[in-house]
A and B are shown apart, each in its own frame.
Chain A
Amino acid sequence: MSPTDEPSGGSGRSSSAERSDPRDRDDAADDPAFAAIDGDDDAIDPDAVTGTGDGSGPARPAVSGHDHSGRAPAVDAGSGRPSELRSDGGTRSTGEPVSEFEQMADVSLSESERRRQWFDEKILAPARIVWDDWRARFGVVVVTFYLLMGTVGLQLVAEPSPNQGPLLVGAFRSLQYPLGTTASGTDIMSQIVYATPSMLIMITSGAVFTVVLGTATGTVAGYKGGRTDSVLMTISDVMMTIPGLPLTIVLATALSIKGNPVVIGILITVNAWAGLARAIRSQVLTLRDAEYVEASRIMGIGTPKIIGSDIIPNLMPYITMNFVRQARAVIFGSVGLYFLGVLPYNSVNWGVMMNAAVNRAGATSSPAAFHWLLMPMLTIIVLALGLTLLAQGADRVFNPRVRARHAKTVESGDDDEGDGGPGGATSAATGGI
């Protein structure tokens, strides 16, 4: 779209003002068009942002990435003056470029006040939201526990070694071996603890890989459209149709990889990015014609910056949810493949433990060894459950209305909004392996 074109989707207010005087537009001091494009966040259909597949209840306003203070929509909505100064990069309030920092200062806050407000909005409010909801609270507690287990836990628990104790002690029978011992007398709890760090690395690498690649592909395809779109989507479609776990197995065998957890994490999610790219693209399609995106385009901001600061912030809830979903998929996949014994490893792993329990002690048929199998399985389930619940909490954290209500420095006008909504229900498709 060339700068002289009319923004097609402008709100009534702006386009009428604009049509009366189209030639002055670019140098108008406080052009209502710009202000409306910046200020009128509510003009964007909120349903569009929540996307297709996730029935996440209430509508939420689009978040503009340029918008550095989360409270702006609430204040603006109340003031009723669309030409009110907004901290949107590139807004011309006085006819000359003003940096974002100077614009922030226009709200006239002292340095310490501003810092306190930032802390309140960015740290305390999300924390309060999370703590407010029992599901998210459970998720946070579980994930923190596993993180501690993978770091501090190593100092507290003795390294696993054969003949640490008597053979095949049952679970919860003795204080010394709370989770029992294996057929070779290794403490099961120490095995579980010592398997955690490489698992955490694996989860992180796999999830980061998928989310970064999927988001990049999806946003570029959706925003650019045309040939870029069809090429990228054809690649995604092809990748998506290849069954993931068999592909991982074949690659792991043919490439003769070593047991590096980072590589294995990536290998397990090797084609998961394609599905994410598809989903993100269809959400970007609903965003790319939003007014604030159009405004950025008219102002000549480059594609990478538009994608980075206009598009992606709106997709953050969805992306976070997928990060957690991928983390879970990595756990399920890696433990499953370790259990089958088709992945190389150089340290103990929950799946390797299960494999040993079944193959060496016949844990499925002998009750005496069953705890050896059960403990790693419970470890996986609890972690996966924690991640699922955390994803639901993340959905609320990114909802600006909920956040505004929990930030004490913000006087919010709209507290009629229900914020619950089964946000995490989107995970249905990956409902287990």
Chain B
Amino acid sequence: MSYVLKRLGQSVLTVFVVVSASFALIRLLPGGPLDYLRAQMIQQGGSSMTMAEINQRIAAQTNIAVNEPIYVQYLDYMAAILTGDFGQSIWYEEPVASVIGPAIPWTVFLTASALFLAFTVGVSLGAVMAYKEGSRFDLGSTGVGLVLNSTPGYVVALLFVAYLGYRYQIFPTGGRYDSAIDPALDNPAFLVSVLKHGAMPIASMAVVGFGGWALSMRGNSIRVLGEDYLRVARLRGLSTRRIALRYVARNAILPMYTGLMIAIGTVFGGAVIIENIFAYPGVGFYLIRAINARDYPLMMGGFILITVAMVIGITIADLTYGWLDPRAKGGGSRESY
């Protein structure tokens, strides 16, 4: 229990650090975002705006009131972020929360599906490879796994767009779903459209991921297969299926669980590039758009929200580790990742 509390406290600390860092980046850098915004506003408004008005506009956009003392600015900023107020997007002229908020579920949908697919396919393939160690199937799969593991996701994404998207026109090349369809969860046409639009982004992230999982599952399984307790299990006459699932698979997957947590970060980061290739309006898509338009409130809001999503994902993964590995329940002796 205390471990759970400690873990949750650490997640909160992470979010706190990120928000503070974003405040520092916006506020403290000379020639940074705040100066840029002010210069732009003076240029646009010309003489019609007083300095006070300009400061007010900036405060509305970034939650930073320039003429207050710095600790008041900081506290105000933190309070605003905590209440879900990420400021006003300059480009979309809407609150940042209402631009990015609706995009979060889509990014989570992409990354979670890709991670799940890569992990399950990789682990199953790796297990089969370990059982058939040295066979032609094993050699071939190892080679494929190595090549895929050395391919960045965006390369696969670009190939998908070029071939499946434009040349053979199997999948749409942009958007979350067909805008002609009524977006309701009980509408089967809508769900099909969502899957069709999500298929290529998910596949391009999953394809480059599963090779690595397969290789490490193969290595772990081969090691487990040589263990004494497996011989005992066989001598006890346990069924092959039980041995494969409860003895080999479970012990081989455990060391990879920590890798899974790091992979959550990799996939979330990679989604930024993938979403832009497929013009898929997720958080990463808006992040890049914000950067190109120098829309600092939107940029920081996107960054904070991506971090929060990732922190939640990693915390869940970390807390379920104890469920998978009873030895870790105590917490104190944990040496994961």
CA distance A380 to B212 in the complex (A): 17
Residues of B within 8 A of A365 (CB): 162, 165-166
Chain A residue at minimum C-beta to C-beta distance from B16: A238
The residue on B at minimum CB distance from A51 is: B255
User: Nearest residue in B to A366 (C-beta to C-beta)?
Assistant: B166
Contact A238 B272 (CB under 8 A): no
Query: Which residues of B lie under 8 Å from residue A255 when comparing CB positions?
Result: 29
List CB contacts (< 8 Å) of B183-218 with chain A: 205, 208-213, 215-218
* B13 at interface, CB cutoff 8 A: yes
B138 nearest CB across to chain A (Å): 11
A321 CB to closest chain B CB, in angstroms? Answer: 13
CB pair B167–A377 under 8 Å, yes or no, is: no
Pairwise interchain contact B303-A246, C-beta atoms closer than 8 A: yes
The reply to whether B307 and A254 form a contact with Cβ atoms under 8 Å apart is no
Q: How far is the CA of A422 from the CA of B138 in the complex (A)?
A: 12
A377 with B29: in contact, given A246-B284, A422-B222, A425-B219 (CB under 8 Å)? no
Question: B255 to chain A: which residues have CB within 8 Å?
Answer: 52-53, 55
- A246's partner among B25, B26, B259, B287 (CB-CB below 8 A) is B287
Interface range, B side: 35 or more
**Does A254 contact B266, Cβ atoms closer than 8 Å?**
no
Flag the segment in B64-72, B82-90, B145-153, B235-243 that touches A: B145-153
- CB neighbours of A387 from chain B (8 A): 150
Verify A254–B158 contact, CB threshold 8 A: no
Closest to A336 in B: B273
Check A201 for interface membership: any CB of B closer than 8 A: no
A358 contacts B269, C-beta separation under 8 Å: no
Count residues of A near B (Cβ-Cβ below 8 Å). Answer: 67
For window 381-425 of A, CB contacts with B under 8 Å fall at: 381, 384-385, 387-389, 421-422, 424-425
Contact A428/B152 with A243-B265, A254-B25, A285-B335 known, Cβ cut-off 8 Å: no
Q: Which residues 267-301 of A sit at the B interface, judged by CB distance below 8 A?
A: 275, 278-279, 282, 285
Please report the C-alpha to C-alpha distance between residue A428 and residue B221 in the assembled complex, in whole angstroms. 14
A381 to B31 Cα, complex, angstroms: 39
Contact of A282 among B10, B166, B292, B335 (CB under 8 A): B335
Q: Which among B22, B161, B208, B269 has the highest number of chain A CB atoms within 10 Å?
A: B269
Cβ B150 vs Cβ A243 within 8 A: no
Q: Does A388 lie within 8 Å of B307, measured CB to CB?
A: no
Q: Which residues on B sit within 8 Å (CB–CB) of A431?
A: 118, 149, 208-213, 263, 266
Chain B residues lying within 8 Å of A427, measured Cβ to Cβ, are 149, 212, 215-216
Q: Which of A234, A237, A373 has the most CB of B within 10 A?
A: A237
Closest residue of chain B to A388 (Cβ to Cβ) is B150
Q: Which residues of A contact B (CB under 8 A)?
A: 52-57, 234, 237-238, 240-247, 249-251, 253-256, 275, 278-279, 282, 285, 328, 331-332, 335-337, 339-342, 354, 358, 363-365, 367, 370, 373, 377, 380-381, 384-385, 387-389, 421-422, 424-433
Alpha-carbon distance A365/B169, docked complex (angstroms): 10
B262 near A275 with CB under 8 A, answer yes
Q: How far is the CB of A223 from chain B (nearest CB, A)?
A: 14
Verify if B33 is at the interface (C-beta below 8 Å from A): yes
Question: Is B154's CB within 8 Å of the partner chain A?
Answer: yes
Contact A56 B219 (CB under 8 A): yes
Give Cα A373–Cα B220 distance, bound, in whole angstroms.
37
Whether B220 and A55, one on each chain, are in contact in the complex, defined by CB atoms closer than 8 angstroms, is yes
Verify A364–B314 contact, CB threshold 8 A: no
Bitwise interface map of B from 289 to 319 toward A, beta carbon under 8 Å scored 1, else 0: 0011000100110110011001100100000
How far apart are the CA atoms of A337 and B155 in the complex, in Å?
13
**Cβ-defined contact, B270 with A433, below 8 A:** yes
Q: Which of A255, A278, A370, A425 has the most CB of B within 10 A?
A: A425
Residue in contact with B158 in the complex, picked from A237, A278, A373, CB distance below 8 Å: A373
Check if A377 sits within 8 Å of B155, measured CB to CB: yes
- Given contacts A55-B222, A429-B263, whether A384 and B269 have CB atoms under 8 Å apart is no
Q: How far is the CA of A354 from the CA of B259 in the complex (A)?
A: 30
Report the Cα distance A354→B165, complex, angstroms: 18
Interfacial chain A residues near B276, Cβ < 8 Å: 340
Please determine whether B314 and A250 come into contact, CB atoms closer than 8 angstroms. Answer: no
Given contact pairs A240-B262, A385-B147, a sample of 14 additional A-B residue pairs in the complex whose CB atoms are under 8 Å apart: A52-B255, A55-B222, A57-B222, A241-B265, A244-B269, A335-B152, A340-B276, A342-B288, A364-B158, A422-B215, A425-B215, A428-B215, A432-B149, A433-B208
In the complex, the answer to whether A238 meets B14 with C-beta atoms within 8 Å is yes
User: Which of B208, B262, B269 is the one whose CB lies under 8 Å from A245?
Assistant: B269
Q: Bound complex: CA of A429 vs CA of B276, how far in Å?
A: 23
A-B pairs with the 8 shortest C-beta distances?
Answer: A431-B212, A432-B208, A429-B259, A245-B269, A55-B219, A428-B216, A428-B212, A433-B270
B17 part of interface (Cβ distance < 8 Å): yes
15 CB-based A-B contacts, threshold 8 Å: A55-B255, A237-B10, A242-B307, A246-B306, A254-B25, A254-B32, A282-B335, A332-B152, A364-B165, A364-B173, A365-B162, A388-B149, A422-B142, A428-B217, A432-B209
Once the chains are docked, how many angstroms separate the CA of A341 from the CA of B266?
A: 20
Determine which residue in B22, B25, B291, B337 has the highest number of CB atoms from chain A within 10 A of its CB, and name it: B337
Task: Decide: A429 near B269, CB < 8 A? Known: A53-B258, A241-B11, A242-B307.
Answer: no
Contacts of A389 in B (CB 8 A): 146
Q: Which residues of A contact B147 (CB under 8 A)?
A: 381, 385
Residue among A241, A384, A424 having the largest count of chain B Cβ atoms under 10 Å: A241
Contact B272 A432, beta carbon cutoff 8 Å? no
- How many Å lie between the Cα of A433 and that of B204 in the bound state? 10
A109 to B10 Cα, complex, angstroms: 58
Q: Which residue of A lies closest to B254 (CB)?
A: A52
